Structure 1
Amino acid sequence: MSDLLRHSLGADIRLEMISIGGLWRTHADRNQLENAILNLAVNARDAMPHGGRLAIETRNIDSDERDSGATRGTPVRDYVLISVSDTGAGMAEEVAAKAFDPFFTTKQVGKGTGLGLSQVYGFVRQSGGYVKLRSVPGEGTMIELYLPRFAGDDRDTVVPPLQDLRMGDGHEVVLVVDDEAAVRRLSVDALTELGYQVLEADGALSALRLLDAHPEIALLFTDIVMPDINGRKLAEEALRRRPELKILYTSGYNRSSASAMDMQDAGVDMIGKPFTVEQLAVKLRAVLDRPA
C-alpha cells in the first residue's frame, strides 16, 4: 500500500515503513485491513496540517510480551503487530478515551463522520485481535493493531477466485464519487478488477459533469457523507437528468443511522464500509440486473 499511502498523505508528510524479517502470518480480510490502515493514515495526515512524520511498523509479538494491563480479556497467544504513529497534535486523555466510539469526532462538520476509528476497532476485534492507543498532546499518536498469529496451512486461506463471482461484462460503466482520494482509489481498483469500466469524481459537481458527458454510465456509486453536496442530493439531481440511472450508496453509516441523512426509503441500495470485493461484486450485480 506504500504508493497509495504516499499519494494520500501529500508531500509535507514523510512516510516511513519499518518491518522486521520473518513476520508471522495472520488471517484477516485483506480489503478491511487495507481500509483500516488507510483510515489510520488519513487521520494521522489530518492531525499534521503543517507536515510531519508517519511511521507504519510491523513486527511479531509473542505471548511473553503481552502487556496485561492493556490486553485484559484477550487470549494469551502470539500476535502480529501493525502500529501507525504520527508526530501530530495528539489527543487529550478525555478525547483518547472516546476515540473508538461510533460518530465521535473532533473534526469540523463535513470533514469526518467519526466512524473511521470505530470501524478499525470493530474489524480488529472481529479478527480476534485488540487495539491499543497511545497519545500525548503536542507530540503525536500511536495506534497499535494486534492480529492473532495464524498457525494453519495454506488451504485455510484460499479465497474463491474472482472469476467465480458475477463480474462485469467489460462494457458496463460505473461512476465512483468520493471526496477522499485514497478511499475512492480503492473502490476504483476493486471495480476495475471486477470487469467494469470506471469513471471517478471527487464531488457532486464534477460527477454531474461526467454524467452529462457520458450517457453510457449505467450506475452511480456514491459516498453519502460528502462536504457541500451529499450523496443523496447528488443522486436526486442525477436521477432528474437520467431517470434510468442505477444508484448504489456507500457509507460507514448503517441503515438506522442513515435516516438522519434522509435515507429512510426501504428501496435504497447501500453497502456499508468497509466492504470486501466479493460483497461489492454481489451487490453491484443485484442493482444492475434489477429491472428499471
Structure 2
Amino acid sequence: MGPMGVRSRNDGLIPVMGVRLMDDEIERLRNREAELTAEVGRLREALVQAASEPVRAGRERDRVWDLSPVLKVIATTDGTITAVNPRWTRCLGWSALDSVGRNLVSFVAEDDLPGAREAFEVLAREGYVADHQISFGTRNGDHRRIAWTKVIEDGSIYAFGRDVTDQVRAEEALRQSQKLEVVGQLTGGVAHDFNNLLTVLRSSVDLLRRPNLAEERRRRYLDAISDTVDRAARLTSQLLSFARRQALKPEVFDARERVGSIAEMLDSVTGARVRVVVDLGEEPCHVHADASQFETAVVNITVNARDAMGGEGTLTLRVHDGGPLPPIRGHAGSKAPFVAVSLTDTGAGIAPDRLPHIFEPFFTTKGVGKGTGLGLSQVFGFAKQSGGDIDVESGPGRGTTFTLYLPHVVPNGTGAEARSSRRKAVPGGGGRRVLVVEDNVEIGRFATQILEDLGYQSDWVANADDALAKLTSSPDYDVVFSDVVMPGMNGVDLAREIRRRHPDLPVVLTSGYSHVLAEEGPHGFDLLHKPYSAGQLSAALRRATT
C-alpha cells in the first residue's frame, strides 16, 4: 500500500500534516478578518458619533437659549441688538424681528436714560457691569424693572437680565406700609401730646375769665399758658427735625466750646447722683450746623442716658476729630473729616431687638407720662439734615454709647455770631416803619398790634405783589417783616426781589414750616420761627435795623 495522502487537483498527493496546517492558517485568517470587521464597525460608530456631537451640542445650546428664565441679548459694542432670546419677548412683548437692529438704549424708560448711558460708559471702560437695574418699556406701553449683568467678549456685548419688577413693587409696598405705620404713630402721639397741651390752655383761659381773680393766681395761669406754648413749639420743632424739615440756622462753631458751655447745665439735667465726665480734647472741632439744635441734641441724649441709668451712674461726654465717617446702619461712610461727639452711659443697655427702633418717633421704653419718644428722633433728624449721622453701640448690661457725627469745617471768621456781636441794640421800636406781609388775617392783625405796642409804625399787606407795590409807592420803610408760605410768590422770593430793588432795605422772614426753607435755608435773611413772642419779634427787628 502506498503512503496516505490527499489527491490534489493535479492528482498529486499532499501529506495529511500539511492539510492540518492549512486549516489552522485559514482559521487564523478568519478570526483576524472578524477582528478587523469589528474594529471597522467601532471606528464607523465613533465617526458617526463625532459627526453628530456638534449638532447635539448646538441643540442643547438652543434649548438653554430658548428655555432660559433670564433675558438674554447679544449686541454690538455700540449697543445695536443682534439677537434676543424668547424670554426677552415673553417679558417685554418685543419680538426678535422688532428688536434686532435697534439699539438697546432705545428700549430704556426716559427717566432711566442717564443711568443707562452711564452703565454703558462703565461697560466700555471696564468690560463688565453687574446687577444694574433699569426700567425697560414694554410693547403695550408698560415698564418692567430689569437687573442687567453685561460683559464684552469677542467684540460683542452679552447681556443677561432678571425681571425684578415684582420684587421692586413688593419692596415699595413694604416701605409704604412702614411709612403708614410711622404716620399712625405720629398721629396718635401728636394728638395725645397736643390734647394735653390744649387742656392746659383751655383751663387756664377759662380760669382767667373769672371775676375778682387774685393777682397771684392770674400770674400763675398766664405763666402756665406761656410754658404750654413753649412746650408745643418744642414738640413741633422735634417733629420737623425728625422729618428733616426743620428750617435750621447753620453757623460755624467749635463743638468743644459749645459742649463745654452747657456742661454745667447737663449736671442739673442729670441730677446729683449722676457723675458727668467731659473730655474735650485739645484740637478745635469746628462744625457748620444749627448751634441751638446741636445743644438740644446733646441734651436729648443726656436725658436718655440719665433715664437709662435710673438717675445714678456715670455719663462720659467726649468731643474729638473722629476722622472719616464709618458705615452706619447699612449706609456707606465718607472719607471726608467728621467731628465726633460721643456720650457713654453706664446704664442697663438696649436689647438688640429694640436697637433698630430707637430713632423712630414716639418709640419709648419709659412709663406712661415719662417721655414723648421724640428725643432721639430729634437727634437723628438734626444729624441727617446737617450732613452727618448718629450711631449707637449697646448691649444688655454694658451701657450705651451714642456718637453724633457732624462734618468738620475750617472756620473763616465770618459767622453769624460775629455779625451779631457788631450790632447795637436799640430800645423799643423808636417809631420805625415796618411793612408786615402776612396772608393769615388773624396773625397779620396780631402782628401789627404787637408792633404798635412795641413803638413801631406798621402797615399790613396780604401778599407779595401788594408788598412790592406798597414799597414802590412808599419807599420809606425801615424793615419788611414777611411770612414765607403765601399764595403766589413766597416770602423767600419776595425777599430776593426786595434785595434786588431796594438793596439797603432789611427783610426779616417768619415761618412755622416751609419746604423752601427746609430744603434751601433762608438764603442769608434773618428768620424768626413761629410761634414767636413779642420780645422775640422786637429783638429780631432790632437786629435787622441796626
Query: Which residue of 1 is the match for residue 343 of structure 2?
Result: 84
TM-aligned CA deviation for residue 23 of structure 1? 2.6
Deviation per residue, 1:202-248 (Å, 9 max, x gap): xxxxxxxxxxxxxxxxxxxxxxxxxxxxxxxxxxxxxxxxxxxxxxx
Query: Which residue of 1 is the match for residue 306 of structure 2?
Result: 45
- Could you tell me which of 143, 156, 180 is aligned with 2:402? 143
Query: Which residue of 2 is the match for residue 119 of structure 1?
Result: 378
TM-aligned CA deviation for residue 45 of structure 1? 0.6
Moved more, 73-82 or 118-127: 73-82
Gaps of 5+ in 2: 1-261, 429-510, 514-525, 539-546
Q: Aligned equivalents of 2:350 and 2:293: distance in 1?
A: 25
Q: Aligned equivalents of 1:166 and 1:83: distance in 2?
A: 38
TM-aligned CA deviation for residue 9 of structure 1? 1.0
Is residue 390–residue 405 contact of structure 2 (8 Å, CA) maintained in 1?
yes
TM-aligned CA deviation for residue 287 of structure 1? 9.8
Q: Aligned equivalents of 1:166 and 1:283: distance in 2?
A: 19
Structure 1 residues 167 and 53: CA distance shift in structure 2, 3 A: farther
- Superposition pairs of residues 273-288 of structure 1, within 5 angstroms: 279=528, 283-285=532-534
Query: Which residue of 2 is the match for residue 161 of structure 1?
Result: 420
Q: Identical aligned pairs, as a percentage?
A: 34
- Find the structure with the greater CA-based Rg: 2
Structure 1 residues 282 and 37: CA distance shift in structure 2, 3 A: same
RMSD over aligned CA atoms reads: 3.3
- Superposition pairs of residues 253-292 of structure 1, within 5 angstroms: 279=528, 283-285=532-534
- Superposition pairs of residues 59-78 of structure 1, within 5 angstroms: 59-63=320-324, 66-68=325-327, 72-78=331-337
TM-aligned CA deviation for residue 20 of structure 1? 1.3
Gaps of 5+ in 1: 170-269
Task: Name the SS for the 1:60 alignment partner.
Answer: strand
TM-aligned CA deviation for residue 69 of structure 1? 5.7
Deviation per residue, 1:68-96 (Å, 9 max, x gap): 46573343210110001100111101111
Q: Aligned equivalents of 1:113 and 1:80: distance in 2?
A: 29
Q: Aligned equivalents of 2:537 and 2:411: distance in 1?
A: 38
Deviation per residue, 1:27-83 (Å, 9 max, x gap): 1111111111011111111111151100000111223xx434657334321011000
Structure 1 residues 161 and 99: CA distance shift in structure 2, 3 A: same
State whether structure 2 residue 373 is matched by structure 1 residue 132. Answer: no
What residue identity is the alignment partner of 2:533? L
Q: Aligned equivalents of 1:2 and 1:69: distance in 2?
A: 28
Task: Name the SS for the 2:295 alignment partner.
Answer: helix
State whether structure 2 residue 270 is matched by structure 1 residue 9. Answer: yes
Is residue 166–residue 281 contact of structure 1 (8 Å, CA) maintained in 2?
no
Structure 1 residues 158 and 6: CA distance shift in structure 2, 3 A: closer
- Could you tell me which of 355, 360, 367 is aligned with 1:108? 367
Is residue 271–residue 311 contact of structure 2 (8 Å, CA) maintained in 1?
no
Q: Aligned equivalents of 1:280 and 1:113: distance in 2?
A: 22
Structure 1 residues 153 and 40: CA distance shift in structure 2, 3 A: same
Aligned residues: 184
- Could you tell me which of 23, 30, 34 is aligned with 2:291? 30
State the TM-score, normalized to the length of structure 1. Answer: 0.55
Is residue 271–residue 283 contact of structure 1 (8 Å, CA) maintained in 2?
no
What residue identity is the alignment partner of 1:22? E
Is residue 56–residue 84 contact of structure 1 (8 Å, CA) maintained in 2?
yes
Q: Aligned equivalents of 2:329 and 2:536: distance in 1?
A: 44
Task: Name the SS for the 1:62 alignment partner.
Answer: strand
Q: Aligned equivalents of 1:166 and 1:115: distance in 2?
A: 36
Is residue 327–residue 333 contact of structure 2 (8 Å, CA) maintained in 1?
no
The answer to which structure has the higher helix fraction is: 2
Structure 1 residues 117 and 68: CA distance shift in structure 2, 3 A: closer
State the TM-score, normalized to the length of structure 2. Answer: 0.31
Q: Aligned equivalents of 1:42 and 1:168: distance in 2?
A: 38
Q: Aligned equivalents of 1:61 and 1:71: distance in 2?
A: 19
Q: Aligned equivalents of 1:113 and 1:167: distance in 2?
A: 40
